[in-house]
A and B are shown apart, each in its own frame.
Chain A
Amino acid sequence: MLQVKNIEKYYGSKNNVTKALDRVSFDVEREEFIAIMGASGSGKTTLLNCISTIDTISAGDILLDGEKISELPAGELARFRRERLGFVFQDFNLLDTLTVEENIGLALSLNHADAAGVKGRVREIAGKLGITDILGKFPYQISGGQKQRAACARAMVAGQSLLLADEPTGALDSKASKNLLEIMTQMNRDLGATILMVTHDAYSASYAKRVLFLKDGRIFNELLRGERPRPAFYHEILDVLATLGGDISDVI
């Protein structure tokens, strides 16, 4: 579904260049759940921003369903993000002035969906994510976990094919984190969502089917969960993190 081919990303001016991504390549299959791990500054968020077209790449190609997204013009990029991508951010990014229902419906509204059907579709996805009873509330009236579930609903409601999550559990307590990760697993398993999640939390990453480890802008390692139970996968992730050396304290 998604092919990332030898992408590079440089920041800075002529005399002071920082290499954020260095020849990163990987493929994402349809209905996969991938976690990208790494220490602060390893290039995780840059990678996610490049895939989501929020940021541009310096070299290489990113293809979604065979289409080079790095070559799309600005108008097409917006349409691409609107129709194909769903976002879940660490700080929820819900609009304070809109109710939960309206925040979710906004994604449909931006896609010029039939206005009369918006409410029904929002209720349907909210039912699946267990947030029907908070649809009439404003973001400041609900908990962090509920906000993040609302963000997940918004990321899926318009039928987006790829869900990009940037530290989705970063602002949640352990209970809410677990709840959210189970919901994401459910979205992946039952609703067929393809998920790419950036995290530096090994526990969160253990919910994924595959984990990519980034270090200094390069893919350092890759782990496949296979048929292993989640706790075993979690420990294996920790082992890889230990081999990342001095950065261990940053990633657990």
Chain B
Amino acid sequence: MTLSELSLRNAKRQAADYLVYFVTIIMAAALLYAFNGLVFSGEIRELYSMMSSLPMAIVPASIVVVCIFGWLVSYAANFMLTRRSRELGTYILIGLENRQVARLFFLENLAVGGCALVLGLLIGNLLFQALRAMILALFEMPYVFSLAVSLPAAGLTLAYFLLIYLLALYKSRKRIREMKIYDLIYFDRQNEEAVIRTGRNRRRMFALSIVFGIVGTFLLMIGNLLLGIIGAGCVIFFLYGFFLTFASGVPAFFEKHPAGKYRGQNLLVFRTLTAKLGTMGMVMATISLLLTATLIALGTGLVFRGIFDGRAAEHACFDLYIGAGEKGRPVDQACLDYIEGNILVEQSLTYEVRLNENNGVRQYLDDCGIEYFYTYRQDPVIRYSDYAALRAVAGYPAAKMEPGQYLIHCIPYLSEPLEDFRQPITAGGRMLVPGGVYTEHLIQRYAADNGQGYILVVPDEAAAGCDLLHHAYAAKTARPVGEEQVEELFGISNRIAERERGDTYDSDDYDTVYANVYEEKTAAYMTALTVLPLYYLALALTMTAATILTIQQLGESRHYRRQFALLDKMGMDAGEMAKALRTQFAIYYAMPAVPPLLIGIPFILNLAKQPEPEIMVGLSSPAAIVAIALGVFFLVYAVYIGVAYISLKKNVLPER
């Protein structure tokens, strides 16, 4: 029998052992292929002019993912080596050379990996279809299922894969070639060395790691790049310090409280836990780090998505809107001429936004301590007749206002405090009482918009007495305004600004142009560019953490089985055994998930509040983002834990 035949037969016989390795490679290949599919998809590129830059976001993310998977596959290969070391050692014992055994292991892994890669590509194609459907949905384009395989994507996946795979196998091969028979036969008995041994050092390190964790989380929340990097370093130190010291701290605690140790199932639970953590503190810390990164990537993705969705919702309420930048200057005639000549307008309005002489509402919001963006302090006002027409252009129902009243139209973020604002105001020398609050999207964020955060709707005669802030134009069109038409309007505005006002740039010189389809596409593009790579990373990180936990657990099932067989003989109740296993299991999986929660939740909450709080409402509000991120995170984690628990329970508890 040749070596390759022997290795193929081994691979077949070890199918169960190789399952984790097999699944790891399938998942890695599938994920890489799916995202490579996006890089090479002409259909995706043609969705929007700027989508051609999507590879710029996906490829760097893929490189990070290749590094993560490289480590994972290497870990899985090492696990297989551990499982099979005794057998491989026996081959050397009966006369095979190290070099031949290394080759045997290499060929086996190549056979398993090759099959997994092919399967991975097939599954990856389905995953690509899901991603394609997601992106097409973002751009509101119809989706048609297709099974066409992208050869360039498959080629790039193969290239990434060769890199991952050969590196992992090279390491195992090198290890086998350098190992002595004894090392191979007793390889499965080797543990990680305890890094910190003495009690005093351990306590110091534990306290120091907690301090680093707190400091690191704060630095991550500040929002400064350099401090963020230092913060990330502190968090990494915290995770490793914590897990390397915690395990040895638990026995010390129980030494001081021996009665607690023998109560209920404490003895079994705490000893299994410390035995695990004592030998795999480094791995646990790494898993915790991966889960922290997963949660942060998920949360950051949701924050970005919230921002782009919020912007699009606010800016896309009119088919076309132009806000004149310079104070008092009307909307450029050249723009209006272009619209008249190129865009079929059904209904349009040219109007003015004015500034009241006082700032009672702005002051009230400031007093409430609400953070939102504004550049002028006075309250913006609009004539009721313009407001009524504007609502009609936007397609909103009419808003009724009695004489002597004023209305507030605000962004949803400010609706709650402004609904409580019951003060009369003075506008154009007239006293007005509140008549109601409206919160439909109306473009209310920047200087050339319909107010910043809010606008007061006042009777026409009251508005006449207020200073002019800027002119604006809004239109309802027969067909959506195209990307080229918006670009042309930008171009006209820019050319006029440059021609009339020379080289000195002032944002007030430029007009603001919003068209709903353009805004929605921009949001979709920005989402695809930032959110997809973050979710890609989050998925890869979760998969890696989950796989390592599976590998660890598989390695331990023999030990668990032995333990429970003995406990059964000693007369432990079946219910108590199941409870002990459940508790051990719950603590084991909760441990690496706790630090990510402590770091991730404040980080995401802070991030969601930071850039544009006024658009982070509803499902994009900070609390909702944290809840969704945790929901997705724990859903994936819980599914995995559930499956792992059922399989472990079946495998290790004695049968009745």
Contact = CB atoms under 8 A, between A and B. Distances in A.
B546 to A, nearest CB: 25
Contacts of B261: 102, 105, 115
A110 B570 contact: yes
Interface stretch (B46-54, B509-517, B561-569): B561-569
Contacts of A110: 567, 570-572, 576
A81 B259 contact: no
Which of A75, A77, A83, A97 has most B Cβ within 10 Å?
Answer: A97
A198 interface: no
A224 interface: no
B570 A97 contact: no
B566 A108 contact: no
Nearest to B565: A93
B293 to A, nearest CB: 31
Contacts of A81: 569-571
A97 B271 contact: yes
Interface residues of B, number: 26
B574 interface: yes
A105 B567 CA distance: 13
A74 B268 CA distance: 22
Nearest to B656: A74
A87 B656 CA distance: 20
Contacts of B576: 110
Contacts of B574: 74-75, 78
A208 to B, nearest CB: 22
Contacts of A75: 573-574
A118 B572 contact: no
Contacts of A74: 574, 656
B570 A105 contact: no
Nearest to A84: B571
Interface in B621-656: 656
Contacts of B570: 81-82, 87, 106-107, 110
A111 to B, nearest CB: 8
Given A78-B573, A106-B570, A115 B271 contact: no
Contacts of A109: 262-264, 267
Interface residues of A, number: 30
B260 interface: yes
B571 A105 contact: no
Secondary structure type dominating chain A contacts: helix
Contact of A105 (B267, B272, B275, B572): B267
B258 interface: yes
A95 B261 CA distance: 16
Nearest to A138: B275
A118 B563 CA distance: 21
A80 interface: yes
A95 B559 CA distance: 9
Contacts of A116: 259
Interface in B546-585: 559, 563, 566-574, 576
A137 interface: no
Nearest to A83: B571
A189 interface: no
A157 to B, nearest CB: 11
Interface string B238-272: 00000000000000000000111111100110011
B259 A115 contact: yes
Contact of B262 (A79, A80, A93, A108): A108
Interface string A90-120: 0001011110001001111110010110110
A87 B264 CA distance: 22
B271 A54 contact: no
A20 interface: no
A179 B73 CA distance: 51
A220 B264 CA distance: 46
A81 B274 CA distance: 28
B566 to A, nearest CB: 5
Contact of A102 (B271, B559, B563, B656): B271
A177 interface: no
A52 interface: yes
B272 A97 contact: yes
A202 interface: no
B125 to A, nearest CB: 46
B262 A118 contact: yes
Contacts of B264: 109
Which of A54, A77, A95 has most B Cβ within 10 Å?
Answer: A95
A80 B109 CA distance: 50
A214 interface: no
Contacts of B563: 95, 97
A82 B264 CA distance: 15
Given A102-B261, A106-B267, A115-B260, A95 B566 contact: yes
Contacts of B559: 96
B92 to A, nearest CB: 26
Interface string A56-98: 0000000000000000001101111111010100000101111
Contacts of A80: 571
A80 B571 CA distance: 7
A67 to B, nearest CB: 15
Given A74-B656, A97-B272, A115-B262, A102 B267 contact: yes
B267 A98 contact: yes
Nearest to A120: B258
Given A74-B574, A97-B275, A52 B260 contact: no
Interface string A126-156: 0000000000000000000000000000000
A79 B571 contact: yes
Given A102-B271, A109-B267, A93 B566 contact: yes
Nearest to B267: A109
21 contacts: A74-B574, A75-B574, A78-B574, A79-B573, A80-B571, A81-B570, A82-B570, A82-B572, A97-B275, A102-B261, A102-B271, A106-B570, A108-B262, A109-B262, A109-B264, A110-B567, A110-B571, A110-B576, A115-B259, A118-B262, A119-B262
Given A97-B563, A105-B267, A115-B261, 9 more contacts: A52-B569, A74-B656, A83-B571, A98-B267, A105-B262, A106-B268, A109-B267, A113-B262, A118-B258
Interface of B: 258-264, 267-268, 271-272, 274-275, 559, 563, 566-574, 576, 656
Interface of A: 52, 54, 74-75, 77-83, 85, 87, 93, 95-98, 102, 105-110, 113, 115-116, 118-119
Q: What 5 A-B pairs come out closest when comparing CB atoms? A: A82-B571, A81-B571, A97-B275, A118-B262, A115-B262
